[in-house]
Structure formats: C-alpha cells, structure tokens
Amino acid sequence: MQKLIITTLSCGLLATSVAAARQKQPNIIMFLVDDMGWQDTSVPFHNNEQTTLNRRFHTPNMERMAEMGVKFTQAYACAISSPTRCSLMSGMNASRHRVTNWTLELNQKTDSKSDVIELPEWNFNGIQPVAEDGKINNSTAITPLPQILKDNGYRTIHCGKAHFGARTTPGADPSTMGFDVNIAGGPNGAPGSYLGTKNFGEGTRFAVQGLEKYYGQDIFLTEALTIEAIREMKESVKMNKPFYLYMSHYAVHSPYNEDKRFTEKYRGKYDEQLKAGLNENEARYAALVEGMDKSLGDIMDYLEQNPEVAANTILLFMSDNGGQGLDNVRQGVANRDQNYPARAGKGSAFMGGVREPMMVYWPGVTKPGTECDQKIIIEDFFPTILEMAGIRKYNTVQKVDGKSFVASIKKGKTIDDNKIIVWHFPNLWGETQNKDEGYGAYSAILKGDYHLIYTWETGVLRLFNIKEDIGEQNDIANVMPEKVRELASQLSDYLREREAQRPSVKSTGKVIPFPDEIL
C-alpha cells in the first residue's frame, strides 16, 4: 500500500510539473533536411498510401512522429536551397528577397550561361542582418527569425547547414543572424565530406567548420551534429531558458559518402520500382536518409527521457527542396523515378522539385495521426513559429509574405482553401537546363488543384491538375484557356507587387513580358 501511495504521488507530481511546463514559452525544434524528396521516407505523403519509393526507405522515427502529430500533404519549398533558407529566416517570398539561386562566394553568381536570355540581377550575396542594410551589394537586409526569438527570451541554436549568405559577409555566419550558438554553419551549401576520418572536407571550399574535436574519428557528420544539438538542448534546460533549435542537416545532400551504419542493408537490395538491385549511389543515398531519421529519433528519445522538457517542446519537420531528379547521381529514369509519382526534382518547377515531407508535433495541441492538406510554403514558417512562441508584437524591416498555419495545426484541417503558392526562379540552375522537365528560368503558381508554369525563355504557359495528375504528364492549357488566363493574371500581379526581377532577351535587350502580357 505504501508503495502504491508513493507511486500515485509521483505520478501526480509529474502530471503537475508537465502541466506547469506547458504554461511556459515552448521550446521549438525546426528540423530541416537538405535535398530530401517527398517520397524519400517510409511515411506515405501521397493519398495516404505507400508508394514503391516509400517501401525503399526505412524511416521509423518519421513514422513515429507522424503517429504523434499532424502530417501535411501539401507542403512546398523553393526548388533550390538558398532561396528556401532565406524565406524561412525572413518570412519573405523569394520574389521579394531576390536570393533566387544558391549562394556561395562573395560577388559571384552561380547561374549557368545562356545564349538566348540575359538573367536579371539577383541577391547572390544573400540575406544579411539589419545592421548591414545598404552596406553589401546584391543582398537583402532582414530582421531574422532567430533574432526576434532571442529578443523575446529564447536561447537560439543553429546546428548544421546555414547557406543564406555569401562567404566573408556577416550573413554567412549564423551568429550574426540572431543565433546564440552556431554549430557548423557557414556559407557552404554542402559538406566537403560526411566523414570524420576526412575531417568533414577540411581544405575544400565546402569544408564543415566548427567540429574539429571530431577530426580523425570514425563518425558520420549527421551523428556528430546530433550529439552537439542534444548537448546544447541540455545546456538550455540547465539555464532554464526556452530554446529554439534550428536542426539544419547537411544530409541528404551529396556527396553520397558511405554511412557504414546503414549502407550494407541497402547495397544490391532488389527494388520493386527499379526492378533491379540498388546500385552503390542509391544504397548510400538510402543510408543517408536512414541516418537522418536516426538523428530525428535521437532527439525524440532525449525528449521522451525528459518528460518535463518533452511536454513543452514543439517539433517541426521539413525539407528545403525536392530530391535530386537526375540519373547522373540517382538511379532510374531521370525526372521520373527519383520522386515518383511526382515529376522531375530539385531545381524544377514540377512537383518533384518543390513538394516536401512535412510534419508537426505540438504536445497537447496536435491530435495523433492527423493528416492535413492545407497548402503551406516555406515562408509561412516564420509567422507560425513566432505565434507558437507567443510572440505577437514584433517589428521587421522586411515585409513578411508568409501566413501562419497555427490554426491548421490546431484543427488538423484546411483553413484557407484559396491560398495560392508562388515560385519565382528567373535563374539558370547549373546541373541541367531541360526546359521540358521544368528547369531553366521560370515562375509558377498553384491555386486549388491547378499548377501553372511559365517558362521565361520560351514564353510557354503549361497547366496541370495535380489532384488528378500528380505526375504532371497531361498539359491541359489548351483545353482550359480561362483557367490559364486567371492564374497568369494572379501570378503576374503577385510578381509586380513585389517588383520581381525578370530576364531579358539577349538579341533585343527587351525585358521578357509577364505571363499575363503574352495572352
């Protein structure tokens, strides 16, 4: 009887402490994966049915998170890394912040060349802290998300890939952007190596800095980052401060170094979609995905082992762009197999380039195992995270385009049926210029089930119904001219409002018309 009373009292005290924890500012973990396609997981994000790609991958911790919270089936990012990360940090659409392609070196564009179009100026030096306003050419000064959180009592932790400012600019260093702690974040958009035995690429321009204590060790980058992230979470708890952890993995971006913990289980494994054994690249890719999932699991395990912390910690999961869709790095038919059933991949206007795996777990708020089809785009995370933190009064130098989706999280359903999603990429990605597959300079809009893509070089407008045709194989522009006009007008107005830059024709020097001006 005495043991029973003690146990009951203990449970009562725990319940009280958990309830008290919920009254504080919540801890927030933004778990962002690099280059992860929406199907690179055993969690189904299409019609709630497992695809052949879902069956290729093993992500038990993503499954665990999906069971705990809300799975969003229409989450979108930019098709390239830096634009997405700048939108997350600023709340601005890429057409407004103008960091429309990936950044790296000071004053150096990363675009491919064209004999037909002249690309417009864009902010290849990235986003910068407010103090740098007007000091750095080709950049946008912002009030960063972590700075607002820091100013409102949060301990802000950056762990992993930054990639939102060019090398040597203040914006390349997360500590200038409102982060109290910067673990391994810099201008590089990929790791020189994932291997501790290779010092994470030391000596290359993609070297991962700040993890020198792991140099020479047989440890994978994903694991080292996770250890450091958990250590900083523990430190925040000791300090009795709410934390914002931006867990921004380099995985699953190339290079596809071997993660020996997982590679062997995939090497040569028969794949029902490819109808062949997985080749070395694909086996290593699947291992990168599973290593990322282990990181998610380790963080969730830490929270579960510390129930007071867990009761007051929100977890968001997202990817920064679509998975690689090219067969020079991935196995299968280029632009068909890699993000199936979506078409194309990273860099493309098609769904394979922009649709992402996304989940949210909010203790006491989300209902377990919920699925929501509310459309979300990456800049929406900015106001959402601030609302989650209870921060309602804040000022930014930039105009915020994002809209909070807290109501959709709480209700687990679509709140805004008319929300439009707009992409603007007046650039040329370096890996392919296949305009048929949605690459090259483009702008696009998604409203309802209809996805309109405008290719700047050709002036072609293509229309797809993504509910009926997720693979975007059937261009219905000719049979739905009114819908084309409607969406072209909305896309053009959106771009005009933000004074979006446009390419021009090299032979004439004339700026290419907005989509509604060609109809």
- pLDDT, one tens digit per residue, over 95-143 is 999 999 999 999 999 999 999 999 999 999 999 999 999 999 999 999 9
Its sign, for the CA torsion 406, 69, 180, 294, is negative
Q: Are 431 and 326 spatial neighbours (Cβ–Cβ below 8 Å)?
A: yes
Q: What is the pLDDT of residue 240?
A: 97
Per-residue confidence band for 323, with pLDDT thresholds at 50, 70 and 90: very high
Q: What is the DSSP string of 438-457?
A: T-SSEEEEEETTEEEEEETT
H or E element at residue 277? strand 276-277
Answer yes or no: CATH 3.40.720.10 is held by domain 24-416.
Answer: yes
Q: What is the pLDDT of residue 24?
A: 86
Q: Each residue of 3-23: pLDDT tens digit?
A: 333 333 233 334 434 444 445
Quote the strand ranges of 460-507, DSSP E: 460-465, 504-505
- Percentage helix, strand, coil, to 5, in the chain? 35, 20, 50
Q: What HEC string does 10-34 produce?
A: HHHHHHHHHHHHHCCCCEEEEEEEC
Q: What is the pLDDT of residue 207?
A: 98
| CA–CA dist 427, 439 (Å, integer) | 10
Q: Each residue of 249-290: pLDDT tens digit?
A: 999 999 999 999 999 999 999 999 999 999 999 999 999 999
CA dihedral 389, 292, 271, 337 (to 10 degrees): 60
pTM exceeds 0.85:
yes
